[in-house]
Every structure is written in C-alpha cells, then in structure tokens.
Amino acid sequence: MSGGGGGSPAAPSPALSGRGARIAGAAPGLLDEGFALYLADPFDRERNPEGVLNLGTSENTLCFDLIEERVSAAAAAAAYGYLIPAPYYGGINSKTWLYGELQPVHVPLFSEVRFWLFVYFCEVMFWLFGIRVRALILINPHNPLGDIYPAQLLKECLDFAHRYELHVIMDEIYMLSVYDDITFTSVLSLESLPDPERTHFMWGFSKDFGMCGIRVGVLHTTNHEIQKAVNQLAVFHSCPGPVQHVLSQFLKDRDWMDNVFFPTNKKRLKEAQKLLVDGLADIGVPVLKSSGGLYVWADFRKFLKSQTFEAELKLWQKLLDKKLLISPGKAFCCYEPGWFRLVFSNSVDKIYLCIKRLEEVLHTNDAEPVPNNASSLTKHSEQDHYLSLLLK
C-alpha cells in the first residue's frame, strides 16, 4: 500500500451529477417501448411482410417523393406547473420535466362532451390545483384529437391566461397539415394579443414537410428575456449551417410550395384519412371527427374486456403480437381507457394491411360491447356537467 494514509482508497466520483443520472436513467414511455419493438422487426413490403406495421409514429410519408426531390435539388422548480388539456402528446411531460422540473396540471377532456375544450375547464383546474401554475400549453391542430381550435376559443384562452399572468405556449407543429375545408387560425395571425410578452409560438419542419430526421424547430416570441434564456440553452442544440442553408433555399420557392407541395399534401392527407376512417368503420371502430394532423383518435372501448387501462394495454399488446403498432390513449394521458391514435399518413397498402390485422385481432377478442356515451349536450350543459365528470 503506497502512502501513509492507510485504509481503502476513495471511491471514484460518479461520471454524472445527480440530475444527469436522473435524466440518463429515465424510464422509457409506452410509445418508446412500442417503437423499440417496431425497430427490432420493421415491416417491409418485400423483405419483411410479416414485420411490425407502424401506424403509431406520427410521420408523414405521403409527399416524401416531392420533398426528396426538392431537398436533393436544394443540396422553473418542481413547485411550478403548466395547464394542458388532456389527452395530449405525452412527450411534452418528459421534456418540460427534464429542462425545468415542471409538472403538468391536466385539464381533462371527455368523450361525453366530444373532447371539447372550454375556458371554464381551465378555470376549474387552475383553482383546484395547489401547484403554482405558470403557463398554458395548447397544441393546435391538436395531437392526438386532430381537431382545430376556432379563433374565438383561442382568444378566450389568451384572455384567461392574461387574467392570471400565465405564459401561453402555442405548439402549432401541424399547422400546415390541415386537410379538411376548415379555417385554421394561427396565434400569429390574430390582430392583437392580450399579453404579447407571454405568448409564444412553436413550429418545426418534421411534421408538415415530412422531415422527421431534420430536427429543426422555430420559436417565435417578442419577449427578449426569454430569447436570451433560450439562446443560452440552445448553445449545444444549434442548427448546423449547411442544414440552415438547405432549408432556407427550400423555403424560398414559394411558388412550388403554394402550387405543388401544399395542395398535393392536403389532397393526399385527405384521401389517406378517409381511407383509414372508412376501413375502421367497416370493422366497427368509430373515430372522432378530425381536420388536421396525421392521425385519427379511434374509439376501441367496446373491444376492451373491462373499462380499465389494464385492459387497454392488453389490447395494445395483442396488436403488437399481431405486428401492428398503434398508440394507446394512456400514452397521451387520456382519462378514458379504450382510445387509440392511428397515423394515416402512409401508403394505401399499409392502411389496408392495418385494417386487416386489426380485424383479425378484434374479431377474436370476446370483450363485451360498451355503448358509446357521446351525447348532444349544449355548450351550457357541458360546462355544468364538467365537475361531475371530474368526480367520477
């Protein structure tokens, strides 16, 4: 033994801090587990026709031919929380926790009121929760519901946030993937904002342009303090110069985008959505009416053996065993078991194969039918009904 100290040598310092170890050791979510199974056995029309068919990942491949051609040519502390209508894209939870240790305060939406959002619901949850709510996050078009917030609702949400000095984060990553004949209102298009300094817009290339591998996002905010803080965080997340050049050249050709890509993308999305919705209807699976995004929100409740999330995950596992990946409602923090998100922005043959594999599983599932509780409540009665739904 060298030296004069005696005793055992000191244990080496851990390579990661406590926070780093927590981030590295975070458990994967349901969507991560499903995607890992898909990666291990991906469907391929010729090389692996019995592989996992992925209609769970929200990726648009319908206009990949156009994009490929064009791109080639272009060569806060844990005590703080945020309000968010649920169901919603579950990936938000991990990111807001890792970066700011923020906790979600759900504004539960229910099928009995067709998953509609009213500002009244936000008021209820704001006052019920002890967490110090600092922000409201809205996804428009919504993921996974596929509906679009009307301009009046956006204004009401912004007014609500202004009353309580909440930041509003508008995630509009599917804003150019609206396929129905409906008016989409971006928060950036509103004539005036109640609180411009606390209203922030986010968008990225991955969904609207079918570029899931191009991890380039946009934050639009007039708040200079937030700009400075985000710039500090983004030092090691900056977009490479060559990628910026390619994308800037890509965006300059407005004529091609307005007259070729956008109308073609809208047409193909609408056709694919109808194909999946009609196929699901043929096997007895209703869906929520949708107008934007790359997916539908489908009601599988009558195929569950019991109205529990355990039964939902058992059905999800049966579908995985049949080599079909769709996304269970639990992954989106849905408050009702039995809802699944299915992505339709894929080829016709894969949609047909999805319906075929679904039918094979559902027809062998001996679950007791459950009635659809969707009602025709008025706006006033929906608000009065909300507390009773929360207390169920």
Average pLDDT, the chain: 86
Whether residue 223 is found in the same domain as residue 93: yes
Does this model's pTM top 0.95? My answer is no
**Whether residue 382 has pLDDT greater than 70:** no
Assess whether pLDDT exceeds 50 at residue 376.
no
- Structurally, the chain folds into a number of domains equal to 2
Residue 118 lies in a domain: yes
Measured at the CA of 239, the angle between CA 235 and CA 243, to 5 degrees, comes to: 160
Residue 198 pLDDT more than 50?
yes
Shared-domain flag, residues 96 and 240: yes
Last residue of a domain, one of 190, 221, 254: 254
Residue 352 lies in a domain: yes
Q: What is the Cα 93 distance to its own chain's centre?
A: 11
pLDDT at position 263 is 96
Range of the domain at 79: 75-254
- The span from the first CA to the last CA of the chain, in angstroms, equals 68
19 pLDDT more than 80? no
Q: How far is the C-alpha of 82 from the C-alpha of 101, rounded, in Å?
A: 11
Shared domain for 91 and 147, answered yes or no, is yes
Average of per-residue pLDDT across 54-75: 74
pLDDT in tens, 94-133: 888 887 788 999 999 999 888 999 999 999 999 888 678 9
57 and 122 co-located in one domain: no
| 242 and 316 part of one domain | no
Confidence band (pLDDT; 50, 70, 90) for 185? Answer: very high
Instruction: Please tell me whether residues 227 and 357 are part of one structural domain.
Output: no
- Give the per-residue pLDDT at 2: 41
Closest CA to 299 of 366, 356, 370, 237: 370
* pLDDT band, residue 375 (cuts 50/70/90): very low
Contact 210, 67 (CB under 8 A): yes
277-287 average pLDDT score: 97
- Give the pLDDT band of residue 14 (cuts 50, 70, 90): low
Q: Are residues 95 and 220 both part of a single domain?
A: yes
Across the range 10-16, mean pLDDT stands at 49
**Which residue reads 């109205």 in tokens?**
307
- Token pair in block for residue 100: 């700011």
Query: Which long-range contacts (C-beta less than 8 Å, at least 24 apart) are formed by 380-384?
Result: 382/113, 382/116, 382/118, 383/118, 383/120, 383/121
Do residues 52 and 41 lie in contact, with contact meaning Cβ atoms separated by under 8 Å? yes
